[in-house]
Chain A
Amino acid sequence: MAISFVAAVVLCIQITQMKAAPEWQIAGATVWIVQLAIFGTAVYAWRPGISLSGWILGILLLILVSLSLTTTTALTLAFLQGVGDFPSAFSRTGSLGPRVCAAFFALMVFYPVRVLLPIRRARPVRKRFKGGNADAGATAEGEPAVLVVGGSQAIPVWEARNHPAGSSGPSTSISSLEFDGTIDLPLSAVLAQVPRELWGDGAGDYAPSHPVSVPIEVVVPQLKEARIVVRWTDLYEWLPPGAGRTETELGHDKNNELVLLPLELVVPQLPAEVFELPEATAPAWAHVDEEESVLFATIPAQ
């Protein structure tokens, strides 16, 4: 990156030293329009689905880099050639050659950082999920635990289950399933996870239980990590109007703010098949006669 930058500056200096041929003299406005068109196309091509604010930001960044290059070149030229005054040196960099050079290297410099620009996600089709509740199956029936203690000194056996539900479902991996629809979270619970500065002026106009519909497809892939994180730009679209601050009111960093959704409210609303596990693949050591037990001499419970 640094080498490219230096190369660009040197190249610009070399070009500005050349006397521009009359046929290459182009009006400043035309150069700017062409430059904007190139930058705009480049940003859009590199970041498909970019949001409007991201697109404008990208173009502005490119212009900034390009101007920085041109200014550096002019300063260097003024210093090296003894032009004396900076304005005349700057005017010499305004011809087509140095401009193209600056634009080209601005694109080079900008390319790695394009991934930071925000993308506008397509609004999902809202469809209420009417499926099962994970809590309902949490206390599935199973075989009682093996009695451990020996003889008459046994403590009361606690009615534990050693095979929770979910082990007898069809062999389906979560990645092969497609989930549609949404789950509803109370607005108050969602906003509790959002920094205050992102709250909209209308956040207080809604009841705390006002539903925020979150697409299941966003939630399910994150379940394996035991936390569900969404970007503010996405969450903003699911909030009721006025509950959050618009993208244009916020800076780039705030749009990319990550918000943690309350797992305890999400998981119970998911269909039971989300948690179905594939066929058990327990290692050899796991298979023993469940009737076997190791006897520990215990004292009666108080």
Chain B
Amino acid sequence: MASINYALKEISCKIVYYGPGMCGKTTNLQYIHQHTTPDKRGNMVSLATPGERTLFFDFLPLEAAHIHGFKTKFQLYTVPGQVMYNSTRKLVLRGVDGIIFVCDSQWEKVRENLESFRNLQDNLASYGYSLETTPYFVQYNKRDLPQVAPVEYLQYLINPRQIPSMEAIALHGGGVFESLNAICVRVLANLARKQKAGVA
């Protein structure tokens, strides 16, 4: 969960990139890492196989501009998308403040997206969290590839509640910062709402 240090005037939030294997979660983080100034980001930690499959998780600490006098830090994580690493995914979700669900738009991955989204709901439920209370954002990635499903169908499958969503081409940076911004804004707004209600 987000931590607020009033003495240091610091807010720290955890954002997790979730989605099926090879959908572009690490690519999102790499793009962010490559395009943020070194003094505002930490080292990106990535444990991957030679085939560039995330083995454990990727981690990137990021600092945003001051918001209402508070220094805002985001810890960006990815999860391994492969089905067999569910315990790791569950572990990474502990204390999550916001989720970017990365969809692989290719036809052959449509079913995997759905399974991954259901897996996300199950793993959140194991901690007593739900998508009703945890901000998330849906990113339809790989829109530049030829064999992609229409966004309407992906929306119909993954996002019937019409949570904020966006098309993206993470490899070239399209939609990467926009998605990050959208989730960060909602995480902070949710935090402020909880503060006001005396929950956090």
Known A165-B152, A296-B65; contact A148-B173, beta-carbon cutoff 8 A: no
In contact, A138 and B150 (Cβ under 8 angstroms): yes
In contact, A285 and B135 (Cβ under 8 angstroms): yes
Of B2-10, B49-57, B79-87, B154-162, which stretch is located at the interface? B154-162
The interface residues of chain B lying within 8 Å CB-to-CB of A278 are 160
- In Å, the complex CA distance between A152 and B64 comes to 16
Partner of A292, one of B153, B180, B189: B189
Of A118-126, A179-187, A223-231, which stretch is located at the interface? A223-231
CB distance from A273 to the nearest CB of B (A): 11
Secondary structure call for the A interface: loop
In contact, A296 and B40 (Cβ under 8 angstroms): yes
The interface residues of chain B lying within 8 Å CB-to-CB of A145 are 166, 175, 178, 182
Of A25-33, A155-163, A190-198, A204-212, which stretch is located at the interface? A155-163
The interface residues of chain A lying within 8 Å CB-to-CB of B160 are 277-278
In contact, A297 and B37 (Cβ under 8 angstroms): yes
A150, CB-defined interface residue at 8 Å: yes
- Count contacts on B: residues with CB < 8 A to the other chain: 57
Partner of A162, one of B111, B135, B149, B178: B178
Partner of A286, one of B113, B147, B155, B163: B163
The interface residues of chain A lying within 8 Å CB-to-CB of B134 are 285
Secondary structure call for the B interface: mixed
Sample of 10 more A-B contacts, CB < 8 Å, known A283-B163, A294-B188 = A146-B182, A148-B177, A157-B178, A275-B155, A285-B134, A285-B193, A286-B163, A288-B185, A294-B64, A297-B37
Partner of A296, one of B150, B163, B180: B180
In contact, A275 and B178 (Cβ under 8 angstroms): no
Question: Lowest 5 CB-CB distances: which A-B pairs, in order?
Answer: A138-B150, A148-B181, A158-B174, A295-B65, A145-B178
- In Å, the complex CA distance between A223 and B186 comes to 31
Known A164-B152, A268-B150; contact A158-B173, beta-carbon cutoff 8 A: yes
Q: Which of A268, A281, A283 is most buried by chain B, counting CB atoms within 10 A of its CB?
A: A283
A residues 102-159 in Cβ contact with B at 8 Å: 134-135, 137-140, 145-146, 148-150, 153, 155, 157-158
The closest CB in chain B to the CB of A265 belongs to: B107
A-B contact pairs, 20 of them (CB 8 A): A134-B153, A138-B150, A138-B152, A145-B166, A148-B181, A162-B165, A164-B140, A167-B162, A225-B114, A226-B111, A267-B150, A274-B156, A282-B164, A283-B131, A283-B161, A285-B133, A288-B189, A296-B65, A296-B181, A297-B63
Partner of B151, one of A164, A264, A288: A164
A39-83 near B? 1/0 per residue, CB < 8 Å: 000000000000000000000000000000000000000000000
The interface residues of chain A lying within 8 Å CB-to-CB of B161 are 280-283
Known A161-B167, A292-B185, A294-B188; contact A166-B155, beta-carbon cutoff 8 A: yes
- In Å, the complex CA distance between A293 and B183 comes to 10
A301, CB-defined interface residue at 8 Å: yes
In contact, A162 and B35 (Cβ under 8 angstroms): no
The closest CB in chain B to the CB of A286 belongs to: B163
In contact, B107 and A137 (Cβ under 8 angstroms): no
Q: Which residues of B pack against A, CB within 8 Å? A: 32, 35-37, 39-40, 62-65, 67, 72, 107, 110-111, 113-114, 131-135, 140, 147, 149-153, 155-157, 160-169, 173-175, 177-178, 180-182, 184-186, 188-190, 193
In contact, B35 and A301 (Cβ under 8 angstroms): yes
- In Å, the complex CA distance between A295 and B67 comes to 9
Size bracket, chain A contacts: 35 or more
A14, CB-defined interface residue at 8 Å: no
The interface residues of chain A lying within 8 Å CB-to-CB of B133 are 283, 285
In contact, A162 and B37 (Cβ under 8 angstroms): no
- In Å, the complex CA distance between A160 and B156 comes to 19
The interface residues of chain A lying within 8 Å CB-to-CB of B35 are 155, 298-299, 301
A239, CB-defined interface residue at 8 Å: no
The interface residues of chain A lying within 8 Å CB-to-CB of B32 are 296
- In Å, the complex CA distance between A25 and B194 comes to 86
In contact, A297 and B65 (Cβ under 8 angstroms): yes
The closest CB in chain A to the CB of B105 belongs to: A138
A263, CB-defined interface residue at 8 Å: yes
The interface residues of chain A lying within 8 Å CB-to-CB of B169 are 158
